[in-house]
Amino acid sequence: MSTLTLNIPDTEPHFRTEHDSMGQVQVPAEKYWGAQTERSRNNFKIGPNASMPAEIIEAFAYLKKAAAYANADLDVLPAEKRDLISMVCDEILAGKLADEFPLVIWQTGSGTQSNMNLNEVIANRAHVMHGGSLGDSETIIHPNDDVNKSQSSNDTFPTAMHIAAYKMLIYVTIPGIERLRDTLKAKSVAFKDVVKIGRTHLMDATPLTLGQEISGYVSQLDHGLRALGNTLDHLSELALGGSAVGTGMNTPEGYDVKVADYIAQFTNLPFRTADNKFEALSAHDAIVESHGALKQIAVSLMMIANNIRMLASGPRCSIGELHLPENEPGSSIMPGKINPTQNEAVTMVASQVMGNDVAITIAGSNGQFQLNVFKPVMAANFLQSARLIGEACASFNEHCAAGIEPNYDGIKKHLEESLMLVTALNPHVGYENSAKIAQKAMRENLSLRESAIGLKLLTSEQFDQWVNPVNMVGTL
């Protein structure tokens, strides 16, 4: 009788023992993180998909590398250790160790555990690169004494916040807004002679051109970009060197300036040491200020996207003055229906950014004494807002704004039927008589011409001379 042998793979997890000041912890054997990371991973199982943003991890890699170089220059870290730390940081920046940062936003408000996550990964990876093995009782690089030298979580995390926020604004947010602004500016020029009816209070008003209407959107985005640009100087200030409470305890003289210079060199961005480290640790006004500009842009985008989709509404039973690109079917039950989906995406992004601003406002206002302990949630909300606005503007630009065209028939129909053209008669027959003309036209379903002549207030020739929409739009 034969025996059936099943080759079942070994799926049991393997662990190694790591230790910190609180004792021993079992850590997944193949991972580079250590005891403090594992404690946080087990103690803060809060929220799915709430990992610390990758941009913060990248920013930490820049600052850890810069700190190693500054410490070596100041003779408090051997060059061999500097080079090992630097090599691991370069691996992190290249995305090679992305799976080594499992911690969530919802942790200690100073971000200490994420700081230690970086310290442990860099130390253990450097030890392996030097020829050692994970789990060795002695390692060439110590996470606290070497990787975290001249640092505190209290000054590293706000530094990472500023690096990540600045880079996101420069490379994602501002370019996206600028592309949309430039497209709308081109449309405002292209449509400068398209006369249409204006609307106030959602009711008919006097005419303007489609180009003039769109120029208002351009101006909104210009103001938003200027407001955002004005916050970059404050955001470029780095807390690193403030140490635990802002005094710079356990940092060598000149370290704060030197480490900021290295960060500026490695990122190719104009970072500098903060003028006041106490503010940099206890208050995050630069983040609040900069996100306030993002909120301003979100408010503008909400208005712009809503106006454009209302002007395009219909296509036959509503305003119908614009044609928007047809990107995808709009209904699972109504054949042929096309919806303004890009506009809807932008308005949802705007509402999210406005909500994020509330969280950042509350968090920023709660810096107690020498430390604000809402750092991770502020960083996560800021980065989400900055990315959403940049990418939403780019998407809206490509899939909607670039393809906007006037619906000339709809524009002409509304212009000719509007009673508010009667405003042009005010200087000639007075406000009261002009109101009588408009009211009679409305009650009796007449044109303005028919109503005015019927009231014997002017002649047909005078009406044609005085009521000309082209003469009512002024100039840009």
Residue 251 assigned to a binding site = no
Residue 153 assigned to a binding site = yes
**Which residue numbers are catalytic?**
201, 331
**In whole angstroms, what is the distance from residue 99 CA to residue 117 CA?**
12
338, 314, 318: which is closest to 326 by C-alpha?
338
Residue 451 assigned to a binding site = no
CA distances from 31 to 26, 37, 118, 418 (A): 11, 11, 12, 71
Site of tokens 């404690």: 39
Exposure string for 62-101, b = 16+ CB within 10 A, e = fewer: bbbbbbbbbbbbbeebeeebbebbbebbebbbeeebeebb
Would you state the structure tokens that stand for residue 198, as one six-digit string?
Answer: 């204006």
**In whole angstroms, what is the distance from residue 150 CA to residue 247 CA?**
12
Asked if residues 448 and 467 have their Cβ atoms less than 8 Å apart, the reply is: yes
Sign of the torsion angle spanned by Cα atoms 115, 117, 123, 126: negative
Asked if residues 182 and 261 have their Cβ atoms less than 8 Å apart, the reply is: no
Residue 325 assigned to a binding site = no
Asked if residues 242 and 162 have their Cβ atoms less than 8 Å apart, the reply is: no
Asked if residues 262 and 181 have their Cβ atoms less than 8 Å apart, the reply is: no
Site of tokens 């004005």: 230
Our separate counts of H helices and E strands in the chain read 18, 10
Residue 327 assigned to a binding site = no
Site of tokens 């250590």: 34
Can you name the residues that pair with 24 across neighbouring β-strands? 19
- Tell me the H-state helices in 231-340: 232-235, 255-267, 277-282, 285-311
Residue 329 has a CB neighbour count (10 Å cut-off) of: 13
**Coil, strand or helix at 199:** strand
Residue 119 assigned to a binding site = no
Strands (E), 313-458: 322-323, 367-368, 371-372, 405-406
Residue 154 assigned to a binding site = yes
Q: List phi, psi (to 5°) of 27.
A: -120, 140
Residue 112 assigned to a binding site = yes
Task: Sort 441 into a burial class: Cβ within 10 Å, 0-12 / 13-18 / 19+.
Answer: buried
Residue 4 has a CB neighbour count (10 Å cut-off) of: 4
Would you state the structure tokens that stand for residue 53, as one six-digit string?
Answer: 């943003």
Residue 111 assigned to a binding site = yes
Residue 337 assigned to a binding site = yes
Residues making up the annotated binding site are 110-112, 142-145, 152-154, 200, 332, 337-339
Residues making up the annotated binding site for substrate are 110-112, 142-145, 152-154, 200, 332, 337-339
